[in-house]
Amino acid sequence: MNTGFWMAICPNCKTRVDETFAPCPSGDGFFAIEEDEHASHPDDRLLGRRIGERFIVAAILGSGSMGYVYKAYQAQVDRMVALKVFHAEKVEGTLMGQRTANSSGRGGQDRFAQEARVLAKLSHPNCVTLYDFGVSDDDRFLYIAMEHVAGVSLRKAVRRGLKVDAILEIVRQILMALREAHSLDIVHRDLKPENIILSYRRSSDEQIVKVLDFGIAKLLQQDPESARTAVGLLFGTPAYMSPEQCRGESDIGPATDIYALGCMLYELVCGKLPYVSKSPQEMVRMHQLEPIPDLEPRVGLTVPAGLETFVRTCMAKPPQDRYADAHAALVAFESLAGKSSGQALRVSAPEGGARRGRVMVPGDRIIGNNVDPTVDRVAPAGLSARAVSAQPAAPAGGVRDTARGEAGKKGSSRSSFAMLRQGNNALVLIALSVVLIFCALLFTYIYLSTRG
């Protein structure tokens, strides 16, 4: 593989290498990575190492309390993957950094493998695919290799603002991903904008939403027996946690994901969280006890009638009052779009032919409310002719008057052009006649002169 502008280097002995991901000629067991990646994280001991005999660690994508996320190269199939590496001691019966009394290394690894096998069954265009999982040779960490997705997180789009058509299309695709997961009894448990990637297919430029980290929360939680004794310990993101999660209940089902989706949809529409607090503890209390706030769309944002009812149903406090799962929520959501007046779900087609609507673009083109780059002014995929617009419709009479006026203007223009063309033709005929008469008189004069 070519290195491009940056040189390839062994991160262990600093030997220069011609090709990225080639083994270091010194034989130290490391592989060459791009020099700038090593310079950015010179002390990381996994850069340039091969994990599971398949994945060469190329760069750091992020980090957290449980471990790191790397970009890695899988040479056998010539692809880049996202490699999540978890510290073994964090997985072995650990919850929120607290170890349980009866945790064991082998038990934690077995439970990790069991949950990973379940997640590997999840296959859907809107779900990030899990390729592989395993344990390092020295048992120091566990890893999962997942599809590496190019794009921007929904968090960035939330900050910059999205219009209604993009919001509805994003939510629809999230629900499709959740429906597939719920059909396999997989619950996300930590749905939030950071776990949603707005991406695209390079071959067709089709815009697509990808949901990350399905079931990772459960995969990293302590074993069920220990969980029953861990009263009050929580796993999740407080801003989007369901009341049952906030209470520390272990019986978590699809309705938990529906609640988190309701919180995200509220944030997308209103530009703020449904419950705002400076402390996670207070936010946890608000999710359990505070009434659901009214939906107050951002300035200039017009939402379909019934969207607030959908959000309130998703955010109902008792799980049984929410949509049972993503399938039920998706049916209600698409019914909502179909029952809207049509004015909030219609945009005009672009000039020069129709193109599929976009739900995202690369980050430098998501520029906020004033100009919405996620809209190509055509119905987004899946909403068909019920495309979305925040513009109010003109009264029927106004539409007819406008159409009549435009037709009158066009007719008047055509008449003027026809008159002008007819006038020009007359002038040409007159000029031609004058020339012919002049020529005739000239010839007559010459003829008479020669005879005289």
Residue 384 lies in a domain: yes
pLDDT at 412: 42
Name the 3-class secondary structure at 279.
coil
Question: What CATH number has the domain bearing residue 337?
Answer: 1.10.510.10
pLDDT of amino acid 414: 42
Q: What is the pLDDT of residue 363?
A: 34
The contacts of residue 168 (CB under 8 Å, 6+ apart) are 304, 337, 345, 380, 383, 388
Give the helix, strand, coil percentages of the chain, each rounded to 5: 40, 15, 45
* 385: containing domain: 152-392
The pLDDT score that the predictor gives to residue 116 is: 83
Question: What pLDDT does 25 receive?
Answer: 92
Hey, what are 291's tokens?
A: 């009434």
Q: Is 284 exposed, middle or buried (0-12, 13-18, 19+ CB in 10 A)?
A: buried
pLDDT of residue 83: 93
Domain count, the chain: 1
Residue 82 within any structural domain of the chain: no
The binding site for ATP comprises: 84
Quick check: is 213 catalytic? no
* Residue 61 covered by a domain: no
In a domain, 173, yes or no: yes
- Whether 402 is covered by a domain: the verdict is no
Query: Is 234 inside any structural domain?
Result: yes
Whether 126 is in a domain gets the answer no
Confirm whether 417 is domain-assigned.
no
pLDDT per residue as tens, the chain (452 positions): 444 456 899 999 999 998 999 999 999 999 999 988 888 888 888 999 999 889 999 999 887 666 789 999 999 999 999 999 987 665 544 332 333 333 445 666 777 787 788 888 899 999 999 999 988 877 788 899 999 988 889 999 888 889 899 999 999 999 999 999 999 999 999 999 999 999 987 766 678 999 998 877 776 654 444 433 333 344 568 999 999 999 988 889 999 999 999 999 999 999 999 999 989 999 999 999 999 999 999 998 999 989 999 999 999 999 999 999 999 999 999 988 654 433 332 222 233 333 333 443 333 333 233 223 332 222 222 222 222 223 333 333 333 333 334 444 444 444 444 444 455 566 767 877 888 888 888 888 887 777 65
Tell me the C-alpha distance between 226 and 218, whole Å. Answer: 13
d(CA 128, CA 146): 7
Catalytic hit among 44, 165, 190, 376:
190
Q: What is residue 364's predicted lDDT score, i.e. its pLDDT?
A: 31
| Residues forming beta bridges with residue 143, ordered by sequence position | 85, 134
